[in-house]
Amino acid sequence: MKLLAIATASVIAATGVGAQAAEISDGKVKIGILNDQSGVYADFGGKWSVEAARMAAEDFGGSVQGAPIEIVTADHQNKPDIASNIARQWYDREQVDAIMELTTSSVALAVQGISRDKKKIDVVTGAATAELTGKQCSPYGFHWAYDTHALAVGTGGALVSQGGDTWYFLTADYAFGYSLEEQTTTFVNANGGKVLGSVRHPLSSTDYSSFLLQAQSSGAKVIGLANAGLDTANAIKQAAEFGIVAGGQRLAALLFTLAEVHGLGLEAAQGLTLTESFYWDRDEQSREFSQRFFKRTGRMPNMVHAGTYSGVLQYLKAIDKAGTDATEAVAAAMHEMPVEDVFARNGRVGANGRLISDVYLMEVKTPEESKQPWDYYKVLATVPGDQAYIKPADSGCPLVTP
């Protein structure tokens, strides 16, 4: 238990817990937020996603169908074996009804497999691989905030159209990195571009010099960073030391969010092109939510934090609609219900469990362009959800009839 570092936070309604909870197993709804809270993705999701989940439970009213809502959390340390042990313990001994967030694709795939076997809901917001709603889809699995296909369409498409037609990849050496490189390569080739090569680096690497020198010597116009979190930030810092951008090559941060831009600073991050499915300063609704999040955390939310809020909220709405927390009924409700909240406007869930909603192509502002703290992005384009995500019939999910 000490190794798992499981912390528990409860959000319980002051009244109304009673007979209405008869259709709720164990008399409560228990949601586990399982992610990286101490490693390379700690800012990407981490404890901030836990806070977003708490906000969703509170905004829903603290109870559903008369039963209290409880949020539990643990750090999986980016290790599928640790994540799997936590998931089994939560499901088998601690009456957890659903697991969410699941940063790191290898972790998300492992936990989704366990959830499928045990007939439990999982909602992934922190992992990217499109396999979650492809060949490894689950009738109880949902992929919420983004995926590798959406990132490839957004960032990859923009740079090819701007003349960035030759690419070289620095790729994280695990499932997420492979998927992101593959998806982006497909899109670059389809639009007349060419990939000159790639090199893989370990997760949480600190020295990118040899990888960057290979990319620099390739002569590619665009160096695609198929990694995330501190890996991307460190690669960008070291690329500046080698004068890569000054020498005329562009860096494409294929998965980079507001949290990493903030950590890196505008001086280093300026000019980067990236894709997110949420921006705090998009409109009045997103600003209101984000200011409340800021008061609790001291930071503005990225798409993973806002996506976690949305995923928890939609799960609670589905329980309310179904009148029970029984997995089959809740999964059916989540597939049927539209998704309309601060994260997704006019969103819907495909037959493969993929949330289909708009994503946004961003460019990081220069220090001179930024007018206030966290004013980091220019929205270059909105990519409609139907274009950003693979059609369910084409996803390879065996649950979907082509």
Question: What CATH number does the domain containing 236 carry?
Answer: 3.40.50.2300
Both 218 and 230 in one domain: the answer is yes
Select from 313, 330, 353 the last residue of a domain.
353
* 171 part of a folded domain: yes
Question: 329: helix, coil or strand?
Answer: helix
Co-location of 249 and 334 in the same domain: no
In terms of domains, do 191 and 261 share one? yes
Q: Of 353, 376, 395, which residue is a domain's last?
A: 353
Helix (H, G, I), strand (E, B) or coil at 123: strand
What is the C-alpha separation between 339 and 311, in angstroms, rounded? 9
Q: Which DSSP symbol is given to 156?
A: I
Q: Are residues 101 and 157 in the same domain?
A: no
Please check whether residue 23 lies inside any domain of the structure.
Answer: no
What are the φ/ψ torsions at residue 397 (nearest 5 degrees)?
Answer: -70, 125
Domain that holds residue 127: 28-146+282-353
Beta-bridge partner residues of 384:
none
Q: What is the helix (H) or strand (E) element at residue 117, kind and residue range? A: helix 105-117
- The pairing of strands 194-201 and 355-356 is unpaired
Q: Classify residue 31 as exposed, middle or buried by CB count within 10 Å of its CB (0-12, 13-18, 19+).
A: buried
Sign of CA dihedral 247, 253, 257, 263: negative
Residue 5 lies in a domain: no
20 CB neighbour count, 10 Å cutoff: 14
Q: Are residues 136 and 203 in the same domain?
A: no
395 and 349 in contact (C-beta within 8 Å)?
no
Q: How many structural domains compose the chain?
A: 2
Residue 153 CA to residue 162 CA, distance in Å, equals 14
Judge if 294 and 240 occupy the same domain: no
The answer on 240 and 216 residing in a single domain is yes
Chain centroid to Cα 17, Å, comes to 33
Domain-located, residue 187 = yes
pLDDT given at position 112: 98
The per-residue pLDDT for 279 is: 98
The reply to whether 219 and 135 lie within a common domain is no
The pLDDT profile of the chain, 402 residues, written as one tens digit per residue, is 434 444 444 444 333 333 344 589 999 999 999 999 999 889 999 999 999 999 999 999 999 999 999 999 999 999 999 999 999 999 999 999 999 999 999 999 999 999 999 999 999 999 999 999 999 999 999 999 999 899 999 888 777 887 899 999 999 998 788 988 998 999 899 889 999 999 999 988 899 999 999 999 999 999 999 998 889 999 999 998 888 888 989 899 998 999 999 999 998 888 888 999 999 999 999 999 999 999 999 999 999 999 999 999 999 999 999 999 999 999 999 999 999 999 999 999 999 999 999 999 898 999 999 999 999 999 988 999 999 999 999 999 999 987
- Output the pLDDT for position 180: 87
pLDDT reported for residue 150: 93
**Residue 359 is inside which H or E element, if any?**
strand 359-364
3-class DSSP state of 165: coil
Q: Is residue 108 part of a domain?
A: yes
Q: Is residue 256 part of a domain?
A: yes
Position 298, amino acid? G
- CA pair distance 135, 342, nearest whole angstrom: 30
In terms of domains, do 134 and 217 share one?
Answer: no
- Tokens 């609790």 identify what position? 296
Q: Is 364 in the same domain as 256? A: yes
Do 169 and 244 share a domain, yes or no?
Answer: yes
pTM as predicted = 0.89
Does residue 376 contact residue 261 with C-beta atoms inside 8 Å? yes
- Residue 17 inside a domain? The answer is no
Instruction: Determine contact, residues 31/53, Cβ cutoff 8 Å.
Output: yes
- What was the pLDDT predicted at 241? 87
Same domain, residue pair 373 and 239? yes
pLDDT at 357: 97
Query: Residue 189 falls within a domain, yes or no?
Result: yes
Q: What number of other Cβ atoms are within 10 A of residue 209's Cβ?
A: 10
Written as six digits, the tokens of 88 are 């089994």
